[in-house]
Structure formats: structure tokens, C-alpha cells
């Protein structure tokens, strides 16, 4: 199967209206590449505030048109969220297709969604984005997109008396948003049931969070390779923004029989569209309910501190508060730093280096298993199933066979410690 053609585009921005402008434009270029495009030309303008009609100033709009014609380019991606009228006016005056930042991210998410849940989440966000941008001239195209998004319900046979085409399109999309939200709610109920079952099992939940392409999936694969079950699959990883949107969950079992659940969440990016944050709130619930967060950071990127700030802001936006966090500075192999190197809750490491993964494992275990208790249990021979369970699921420190049963000195999580408290040997 041949690779799809890469489309050359213009990227453009307003330098005085954006903090860390060069970083923002570099990120826009990476987003463009993630959407199978190439930034052939970059256009910058320095204005105190955008032109309310065309975003860019009149002279710059003329320049954009001339440069696009000279380079035979048809698309411009703007590093801002444009109003519907700004998009229309820019398209009219330049002859280009205009994509704003939110529209670009929505396109990427739309292309990457694989699971039914992710597809519904993205489609809700896309429809909400389209709604204020509806106009009669694009009614048919948007109707087709919305039909694919929400799965059916096309046709205008119920058009009300005096209802314009635009009003009808708006109502149709609103109906499809409601339908998609209902489907997503049903899926979320199932996910909540599964999450509750995991919590009852008493397994700690550790979630990988961080900027897109920081190495979360590579880190997860390193841990799964060492401590996952034989049938556990590696998660998809690729050096691109938003390589995967679906939350993956794997169970890890360590040599001392301690177990935990590890989840790999969707990556973040600066100014992630609010519609997407809201749509993916259920997916990111794994982070909200985690016992420990591991923030994976691209230590080789000179803007990693800005990326960390974005991660913190996004976590707050989705309601994640007061969850303990480890800071995992990945891709140290691309820097001059020594690794693995731990200081307190911070680790400089390389996700493809086994020694680094072992160091991260040690930090994780110190956090999530700190409440484990060491106790001595005397289990009657008739309750051999209890001994079998503990041998499979607990860290047995010592085993003695006494006249009235099997005595185990064992490390237990709080759930199992309460469950088997009746066998505890009373200290002398």
C-alpha cells in the first residue's frame, strides 16, 4: 500500500499575540506534519491585535495571496482560532482553503481515532466546531461529514414550514450531537463498571500522562515487556504527534507478585481545543482515578518546561487534582545527560533502555506499594486455597509448616490484609 501524498501548505501566525511565538510555530509545523502536510512556507505578522475581519492586516492578506500563487499553494494553516467570518473573508480574498489551529487538531484526531469511543468523542467535538460555521454554501459538504460522524439520520423530509436550509442544517447537526453523546454515555457506563471492578480488586492504578510524543507508549511498552503477561500486546508507538488516541490498560506483575494496572492516556498539546478536552474527559478518567501519575517529559526538547506547564494545565482542566506524580524525563539518550539518574520524584531516563525502565519500576513500586503491610498468618491446612492464592498474588517472605497449619510471613495490600485478618497471628 503506497504512502499518501504529503500536501504542501502555508503556515501563518501573529507574533505579538502569542507567548513563546517561535515555539508555538514549531509546534504548529509538527501538527501540520502529523496531518500528512508539509509546511512549505511560513508567514509571520507583527500586529498588536488581529484584524477583526481577516485576522491579518490588509497588506499581509495581499502578500499571502501573491506568495501562494507564486508557490502554487492552496492551503493555509493559521496558528489561531479564527472566527467563522475571518475564515470566510480570508478564503475569499486569498483564494486559499483556510484551516485554523482547532480545525487542524480536529482533523488529526479524526484521522487517528480507532475505537468506537474515540471516534464518538472526536465526532462530537467536530460537530460542535462546525455548528457556528454553518452556511448555506457548504451545507451539503457538512451534512455529509455530520452524517458520517453520527451515523445516519440524513434527509430533510421533515423540514418545517418556513425553515431555511441553514436552520435545518443546524438542527440536524444538533440532533446528531445529541445522538452521539447518548451513544458515548452508554459506552462510558460500561467503562465505569470495568473501572469499579478493577478498584474492587485492590490493584493500584498508575497512569502515564504528558505531552504528545513525549514517549508514553514507548515507556509503557518497556514496562509491559519486562512485567506484562505473556499475552499482553505492545501498544502502538510512532514518532509523531497524537500517534494514538485510545487509552490502553495493561496489568503488570513483578517478581515479588506485587501487581498494578498501567494506563497510557492520550497526549496533550498546548491550547488543546475545549471541545476535545470535554469529549475526552471520560477517556482521561483513568488519570483522574489513578493512585499515581507518571508525567513523561521529552527531556531532549528545548521547550520541555513549557510542555510540562501545558500538561499541568490540562490535568486541571479535566479535574485531576491531588494525585501523586513522578516526573520522568525521557529521551536522555538524545542529550548529554547521564541516565538513569534519580533525584527524589524525578528520573532522567531513556524509555528504550532496560536499566532506565528498572529504575522507573523501583520508583513506581516505592510509591504505590508504600501502604503494604508485613504480617504473619497461620492458615489451617483445610484452607489450602488461601495459601495457594497468597503464593500467586502476594510476596511470601517466609513459610513454616506447623502442627496446626501453614504459617506465612507475607506482604499484603490493604484489601487482602483485611480479607485475611482472621488468620493473623497475635504477637506474643
Across the beta sheet with 405-412, the strand order is 373-379, 405-412, 395-402
- How far is the C-alpha of 239 from the C-alpha of 267, rounded, in Å? 13
Res 277: pLDDT: 76
**Exposure class string for 203-224: b at 16+ Cβ within 10 A, else e:** bbbbbbbbbbbbbbbbbbbbbb
Whether residue 210 is annotated as binding a ligand: the answer is yes
Res 136: pLDDT: 44
Res 270: pLDDT: 81
- How far is the C-alpha of 46 from the C-alpha of 318, rounded, in Å? 34
Q: Which residues are within 8 A (CB) of 78 and not within 5 positions of it... i.e. 6 or more apart? A: 11, 12, 13, 55, 90, 98, 99, 100, 101
Whether residue 267 is annotated as binding a ligand: the answer is yes
Same domain, 218 and 313: yes
pLDDT tens-place values along the chain, 428 residues long: 456 688 999 999 998 888 788 988 999 998 999 899 999 999 999 988 999 999 999 999 999 999 999 999 999 999 999 999 999 999 999 999 999 999 998 888 888 777 788 788 888 888 988 888 876 444 444 444 444 444 444 444 444 444 578 888 889 999 999 999 998 888 877 767 766 766 666 688 999 999 888 999 899 999 999 998 765 566 655 555 665 656 778 899 999 999 999 988 778 888 777 777 776 666 676 677 889 999 999 999 999 999 999 899 888 887 888 899 999 999 999 999 999 999 999 999 999 999 999 999 999 999 999 989 999 999 999 999 999 999 988 999 999 999 999 999 999 988 889 999 999 986 53
β-pairing verdict for 325-330 and 341-343:
unpaired
Same domain, 274 and 332: yes
Res 382: pLDDT: 94
Whether residue 331 is annotated as binding a ligand: the answer is yes
Whether residue 213 is annotated as binding a ligand: the answer is yes
Same domain, 217 and 364: yes
* Maximal C-alpha separation, the chain: 95
Across the beta sheet with 341-343, the strand order is 248-253, 259-264, 205-210, 292-298, 325-330, 346-348, 341-343
List, in sequence order, every beta strand (DSSP E) within 233-317.
248-253, 259-264, 292-298
Res 236: pLDDT: 56
Last residue of a domain, one of 99, 132, 147: 99
Q: How far is CA 392 from CA 225, 253, 313, 385, 387, in A?
A: 20, 10, 41, 11, 9
Grid cell locating 56: 491579518
Res 120: pLDDT: 87
Last residue of a domain, one of 99, 125, 151: 99
Whether residue 214 is annotated as binding a ligand: the answer is yes
Whether residue 246 is annotated as binding a ligand: the answer is yes
For residue 61, give the DSSP letter.
H
- How far is the C-alpha of 332 from the C-alpha of 88, rounded, in Å? 45
**Total number of domains constituting the chain:** 3
Whether residue 243 is annotated as binding a ligand: the answer is yes
CA torsion sign, 304 to 307 to 313 to 318? negative
Q: What is the domain extent for residue 212? A: 203-369
- How far is the C-alpha of 6 from the C-alpha of 119, rounded, in Å? 24
Cross-strand pairs, 406: 379, 401
H-helix or E-strand containing 363? helix 354-368
Whether residue 265 is annotated as binding a ligand: the answer is yes
Domain assignment present for residue 228? The answer is yes
- How far is the C-alpha of 258 from the C-alpha of 249, rounded, in Å? 17
Q: Which residue has the cell 498468618?
A: 377
Last residue of a domain, one of 57, 77, 99: 99
Whether residue 330 is annotated as binding a ligand: the answer is yes
Res 143: pLDDT: 46
Same domain, 249 and 378: no
Grid cell locating 92: 475569499
Res 142: pLDDT: 41
C-beta neighbour count of 388 within 10 angstroms: 10
Q: Where are the alpha helices (DSSP H) in 201-324?
A: 216-227, 274-279, 285-288, 304-317
Q: Kindly tell me the burial class for residue 8, based on how many C-beta atoms sit within 10 Å of its own C-beta (0-12, 13-18, 19 or more).
A: middle
Same domain, 268 and 289: yes
Same domain, 80 and 212: no
Whether residue 211 is annotated as binding a ligand: the answer is yes
Same domain, 278 and 418: no
Same domain, 358 and 396: no
- How far is the C-alpha of 207 from the C-alpha of 221, rounded, in Å? 13
Whether residue 74 is annotated as binding a ligand: the answer is no
Whether residue 264 is annotated as binding a ligand: the answer is yes
pTM of the model: 0.79
Amino acid at each position: 500500500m503506497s504512502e499518501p501524498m504529503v500536501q504542501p501548505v502555508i503556515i501563518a501566525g501573529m507574533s505579538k499575540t502569542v507567548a513563546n511565538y517561535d515555539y508555538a510555530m514549531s509546534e504548529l509545523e509538527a501538527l501540520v506534519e502529523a496531518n500528512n502536510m508539509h509546511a512549505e512556507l511560513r508567514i509571520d505578522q507583527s500586529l498588536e491585535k488581529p484584524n477583526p475581519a481577516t485576522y491579518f492586516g490588509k497588506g499581509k492578506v495581499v502578500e499571502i495571496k501573491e506568495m501562494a500563487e507564486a508557490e502554487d499553494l492552496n492551503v493555509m494553516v493559521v496558528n489561531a482560532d479564527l472566527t467563522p467570518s475571518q475564515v470566510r473573508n480570508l478564503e475569499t480574498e486569498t483564494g486559499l482553503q483556510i484551516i485554523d489551529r482547532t480545525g487542524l487538531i480536529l482533523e488529526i484526531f479524526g484521522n487517528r481515532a480507532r475505537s468506537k469511543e474515540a471516534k464518538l468523542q472526536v465526532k462530537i467535538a467536530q460537530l460542535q466546531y462546525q455548528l457556528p460555521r454553518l452556511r448555506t454554501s457548504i451545507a451539503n459538504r457538512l451534512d455529509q461529514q455530520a452524517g458520517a460522524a453520527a451515523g445516519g439520520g440524513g434527509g430533510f423530509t421533515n423540514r418545517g414550514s418556513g425553515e431555511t436550509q441553514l436552520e435545518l442544517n443546524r438542527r440536524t447537526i444538533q440532533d446528531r450531537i445529541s445522538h452521539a453523546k447518548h451513544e458515548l454515555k452508554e459506552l462510558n457506563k460500561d467503562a465505569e463498571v470495568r473501572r469499579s471492578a478493577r478498584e474492587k480488586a485492590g490493584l493500584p492504578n498508575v497512569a502515564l500522562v504528558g505531552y504528545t510524543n513525549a514517549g508514553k507508549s514507548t515507556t509503557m511498552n518497556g514496562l509491559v515487556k519486562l512485567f506484562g503477561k505473556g499475552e499482553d500486546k505492545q501498544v502502538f508507538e510512532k514518532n509523531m504527534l497524537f500517534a494514538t488516541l485510545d487509552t490502553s490498560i495493561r496489568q503488570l506483575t513483578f517478581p515479588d507478585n506485587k501487581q498494578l494496572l498501567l494506563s497510557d492516556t492520550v497526549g496533550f498539546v498546548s491550547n488543546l481545543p475545549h471541545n476535545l478536552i470535554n469529549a475526552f474527559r471520560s477517556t482521561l478518567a483513568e488519570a483522574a482515578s489513578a493512585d499515581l501519575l507518571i508525567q513523561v517529559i521529552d527531556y531532549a526538547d528545548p521547550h520541555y518546561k513549557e510542555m510540562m506547564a501545558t500538561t499541568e494545565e490540562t490535568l486541571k482542566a479535566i479535574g485531576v487534582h491531588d494525585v501523586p506524580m513522578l516526573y520522568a524525563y525521557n529521551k536522555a539518550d538524545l542529550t548529554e545527560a547521564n541516565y538513569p539518574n534519580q533525584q527524589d520524584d524525578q528520573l532522567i531516563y531513556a524509555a528504550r533502555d532496560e536499566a532506565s525502565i528498572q529504575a522507573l519500576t523501583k520508583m513506581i513500586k516505592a510509591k504505590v506499594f508504600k501502604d503494604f503491610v508485613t504480617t504473619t498468618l497461620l492458615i489451617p491446612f483445610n484452607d489450602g486455597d488461601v495459601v495457594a492464592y497468597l503464593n500467586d498474588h502476594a510476596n511470601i517472605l517466609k513459610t513454616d509448616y506447623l502442627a496446626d497449619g501453614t504459617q506465612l510471613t507475607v506482604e499484603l495490600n490493604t484489601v487482602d490484609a483485611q480479607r485475611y485478618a482472621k488468620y493473623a497471628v497475635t504477637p506474643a
